[in-house]
Structure 1
Amino acid sequence: MARRSGSADLPLHGGRVPAWLGRRMARLGAVITEAIVHHYGREEFLRRLAHPFWFQSFGAVMGMDWHSSGITTSVVGALKHGLAPRAGELGLHVCGGRGSHSRQTPHELVAIGDRVGFDGAALAKASRLVAKVDSAAVQDGFDLYLHGFIVTDDGKWVVVQQGMNGASRLARRYHWLSADLKSFVETPHAAIDGRNQGKIINLTDRRAAASRQGQLDLLADLGPDLIVREVARLEGKEPVPLLPHLVMPVHHDVRPKDVILRRLHGALAAASESGPTDFADLLLVPGVGARTVRSLAMVAEVVHGAPCRFADPARFSLAHGGKDRHPYAVPTRVLDETIGVLKSALASARLGNDEKLEAIRRLDHQARALEGRAMGPSFEAFTAEEFRRSPDYGGRSVFGWEPRSNGAPQKGTR
C-alpha cells in the first residue's frame, strides 16, 4: 500500500542554484547516497528520502539554503544529475523534477522499466495518482509544481512533490513511500446505497460558502494529516499515527534556537578526538584538514543517524554553509575535500576494503557518545570564526567570493 510518509511547510523563495554549487551538490548527493546504499541498502535510502526532516537535513549539508522551498528542487535535481552515471550499478533512478520535467515522469518510468524489467506503465499510473491525490483530493491551497519519483530496479519507490501558495508565500512538500502498492484508497466504493437518513451535506450549495472557506483554511493551517487524526479522536476510533510534519521558520538567517547545540559540540569533539587517529594515516587524501573532518562528522550523521537526530535541520548547514551566506558562505575547498574523502572511501569499499568508510562511521558514533558532556563554543562564536576564516576556505555565495580582511580578492576555483 502506498502511503504518505510526511510533509513540510517551507517559506517560498525564488532564485536559482548557481552552477558552481549545483555541480558540487550533485557529487556530494551521489556519494552520500552510495554510502547509505552500501551500509543499509536501497530501500533504506528511499525511507530516508520519505522522511521530511532527514530530507531537509540532506539538502542543508550540501550547502543549499537550509529552510526555503528551493531545497526540494535542488535536492531532486542534484540526485537526478549525480546518480544518473551510477544508476545501473546502484539500481536507483530519479525521474521528474520541476515544471515541464515533472510531466515527463510517466515517460521516464516506462523507458526505465523497459530497460531494467519493472512494470513502467504501472508505476507511471502510480505517479499520476500520487500527484492527483495531493493536487485534487487534498485541496489545501497549494498548487503542485514539482514531482520527483525515485525508483529502484525492483520497483520500490518514493515520491517527493511540492506545491506553492502564492497568497501565503509558502510551499508545502509531500512525501510518499511505496510498500507493495495495491491501492491508493483504503476501501474504494463501486457504489453507495442506503435508506434516507435525513438531510445531506451539499458543499456545492452557495449557502455553504463559509463552510468551504473554513475547510480550506483548516487544511492550509493544519494540514490534512492532523485533521484526520483529530476526527478519529472525536469519533472514538483508534488514533491515527501523526505523520512527521516539518515547519521551517520564515527568517533566513540561522539562529541559535534553530540548532541543538549539544549535538554540534558532539560533532566538533568527535572531529577533534577521532580525527587525528582515524584520518591522518588511514584516509591519506592530500589537503584534508581539521575543518574538513568537522564537516565529515556531520555528513556521517546524515548517513548513519536515526530519524530523531534530524529535528534541527539547520545544524547541518554548519557543515558547508549556504549559497546566500546563511549561516556563512559555502567553504568550497572544504566541500571539495569532503567529496574527495567520501569518494576515496567508497572506491576502497568497492574493492572490498571498508576501513575508510568505517572510520567515517566511527565519527558519527563518537559524536553521539560525546554530545552529552562535550563543551564547545557558543553558536555566535562558532559562526563568527567561520566568517573570519571564510576566505581561507574558499568561501563563496551568490554574491561572489568572500574577500580577505585587507580587501584583496581570494583566488577562486570553479
Structure 2
Amino acid sequence: MRNVADLPLHGGHVPPWLAQRMRKLTRLVLILAVEEYGTKGLLERLSDPVWFQAFNNVIGMDWDSSGSTTVTAGMIKDALWREELGVKAAGGKGKKSRATPEELKTIAEIYDLDPTPYVRTSRLVAKVDTVALQTGYQLYHHVFFLDEEGNWAVIQQGMNEAERMARRFHWFDAEVFTLDPHKGIAGLKREFALNTVSNEARKYQKTLLDIIQEKPVKIERELESLKAIARGYRPLVYYKPRDVDEKTLIQKYESLGKLELNRRALEFARELSVNNYEELLLLKGLGPSTLRALSLVLELVYDVHPSWKDPVTHPPDPFKFTYAVGGKDRVPFPVERGTYDELISFLEKLVEKNLQEKALVRNVTKITKNWKFPEEEKRAT
C-alpha cells in the first residue's frame, strides 16, 4: 500500500455542460492510454491512487472530494462500454455495486473468459476492506475493471458517516488477498486500525483458523467473560497476557463497532473445516462485528495479536495535483470552457493521427517530464 489521500464528503453535482465535456475528455484519455500502455497498463494506472487522482483533476473534478471517485469512475465505466478498447467495467455506487456479479458475467462472455474467479475476487476484495481491514469506513462504491486478457483492477470507496470522510481502496491483479494485498489506499492515516491482512498478522490468521474449529458456545463464553472484565468483574481463574490493559484494549475494539458473534457463521465454518483465511472471509454471516469479537478473544485469551497499524503511507498533498481546465467547485479556479474545448479538439485530432505523428507528441512530453513548478508560486487548493 503506497499512495494515499483523504476525501471529504462534498455536496452538489456536476452541471450538464461540464459533464458533457468530461465524458468526451474521459473517452479520449482512455483511448490514448490504451494505445500507449495497452489494457494492462491502463489497469495498472487506474489502480495507482495518484494517477487516478490526476485523471480526476484533468477532467475538472476537485482533488479532495469524495465525489471525485464516484464521478470519475462512472465516467470511465461509461466510456469503456461505449468504446471497444479491450477493457470494460462493472459495478458503481450504491445499488450499482450490487450489480457487479451479473455485469462481470456479461464482460466475461464478451471476452470469452470464465466469470467465476472474477465474481469471487469481487466479493473477496469487498470483504477484505469491510471485515479484514477495519478503519471505520463503510463501503458504498465498488467498480471492477476487467480486460480481454483477464487482467483486473478494483477501485472501491468507503464512507465514515460520523466524520463525513471517504477512503478509497485500489487493487490490481492481486495473487494473495490476505497479506498486504492493496496497490494503494487513499485516506488519512488514523491512530490505529484493525488490520488482519498485514504481513505481521500471519500468526494471527493461522491461530484464528484453529480457534474457529472450537464449538461456538465456548468462544461465546470467552467473549462474555472478557466483556465482564471490561465492566470491572474478575473471574476466579484468569490468565492475563503480559503488558496488556484489558479495559483499554476492549474500548479500542468497541470504538470500531459492536462485539457480537454470529453463531451460525461459526458453526458453518466448523462444519466446512475452513482451512484458509480467504475462505473464512467469504463465509456468509462473517461480518465486522464477528471478526472484532474473535480478534478480542485471540488477543486476551490466546495472546495472539493482529496488526493495529493503519496501512496508509502517503497523506494528502494539495500541491501534488495539477488542474488542466479548472475545478468543478471553482477551486483552484473556475473551469475555463474555452480551454476545455480546445483541449478536447486537440486530443480528438491526436487520436486521428498516425503513429509517427503521435511519437512526435510523446517526445515533447519527455522534454517537460522533469519540469517542476516553482516552489514560491505554489499555493494550496
Contact 2:326–2:334 (CA<8 Å) still a contact in 1? yes
2:340 equivalent to 1:320: no
1:342 corresponds to = 347
Q: Tell me the distance in 2 between the aligned counterparts of 1:191 and 1:170.
A: 34
The residue type equivalent to 2:109 in the other structure is D
Match of 1:18 among 3, 15, 19: 15
Deviations 1:374-407 (A, max 9, x none): 8799357xx9xxxxxxxxxxxxxxxxxxxxxxxx
Quote the Cα distance in structure 2 between the aligned partners of 1:124 and 1:82.
22
Structure 1 equivalent of residue 126 of structure 2:
131
Displacement over 6 Å in runs of 4+: 216-219, 374-377
Q: Does 1:192 align with 2:176?
A: no
SS of residue matched to 2:6: strand
Aligned partner letter, 1:184: F
Mapped to 2, the partners of 1:128 and 1:82 lie a distance apart of 24
Structure 1 contact 11–68 (Cα < 8 Å) conserved: yes
How far apart are 1:213 and its partner, in Å? 3.7
Distance 1:343 1:243 in 2: 40
Unaligned runs of 5+ in 1: 194-199, 220-241, 250-257, 260-311, 384-414
Residues 277-336 of structure 1: CA deviation (Å, up to 9, x unaligned): xxxxxxxxxxxxxxxxxxxxxxxxxxxxxxxxxxx02xx22x111111101111122112
Q: Is the 8 A contact 1:27 1:339 kept in 2?
A: yes
State the partner residue of 1:237.
none
When normalised by structure 1's length, the TM-score is 0.60
Match of 1:143 in 2: 138
Inter-partner Cα distance in structure 2 for 1:213 and 1:12: 28
Question: In structure 2, how many angstroms separate the alpha carbons of the residues matched to 1:108 and 1:75?
Answer: 19
* Paired amino acid for 1:164: M
Aligned equivalent of 1:56: 53
- Is 1:94–1:149's contact at 8 Å kept on the other side of the alignment? yes
Which residue is equivalent to 2:359?
358
What RMSD, in angstroms, separates the aligned Cα atoms of the two structures? 3.5
Percentage of matched positions with identical amino acids: 38
Aligned to 1:248: 316
Task: Sort the Cα spacing of 1:156 and 1:117 in 2 relative to 1 into closer, same or farther, 3 A.
Answer: same
Structure 2: which amino acid aligns with 1:332?
A: R
Q: Which residue is equivalent to 1:170?
A: 165
1:154 and 2:149 matched: yes
User: Contact 2:22 / 2:59 at 8 angstroms: preserved in 1?
Assistant: yes
Tell me the number of residue pairs that the alignment of Structure 1 and Structure 2 aligns: 283
Preserved CA contact (<8 Å) 2:2 2:314: no
Structure-to-structure mapping, 1:200-239, within 5 angstroms: 205-206=226-227, 207=229, 210-214=248-252
1:127-154 deviations in whole A, cap 9, x for unaligned?
0111111012212110001001111011
Aligned counterparts of 1:33 and 1:218: Cα–Cα separation in 2: 39
Residue of structure 2 equivalent to 1:97: 92
In structure 2, the residue corresponding to 1:37 is in which secondary structure?
Answer: helix
Alignment-derived partner of residue 41 in structure 2? 44
- 1:116 corresponds to which residue? 111
- The answer as to whether partners of 2:87 and 2:148 remain within 8 angstroms in 1 is yes
Asked if the contact 1:141/1:165 (under 8 Å) is kept, the reply is: yes
Tell me if structure 2 keeps the 8 A contact 1:149–1:159: yes
CA gap of 1:51–1:213, structure 2 versus 1, over 3 A, is farther
Q: Residue type matched to 1:247 in 2?
A: P
Give the aligned residue type for 2:122: S
